[in-house]
Amino acid sequence: MLLYLNKIILHMKKEIVRRIKMPVITIDSPKLTKEQKKALVDSFTKSASEIINLPESAMIVLIREMDSEDVGVGGVLLCDRE
């Protein structure tokens, strides 16, 4: 399921960039609150805008949340390491 979702997100990302030629920032993270998401989107948008010298309105931020059972490090799921 996760592989399928990643393919969909990758396709969407490529399509967005192809059509509107705007920078896309992708954040992979654990579950976040709405307030945390707002803060991340605001911070990444402002920083990227300053660094790339494009308006904030040109920035696209995608947040992908993952459970610890969906991520493995060193051959072990994160949920089994906790």
First to last CA, the chain: 23
* Boundaries of every domain in the chain: 2-69
Q: pTM value? A: 0.67
Please tell me the class of the 2-69 domain: alpha beta
CB 66 within 8 A of CB 79: no
* pLDDT tens profile 18-77: 565 688 999 999 999 999 999 999 999 999 999 988 899 989 999 999 998 988 999 999
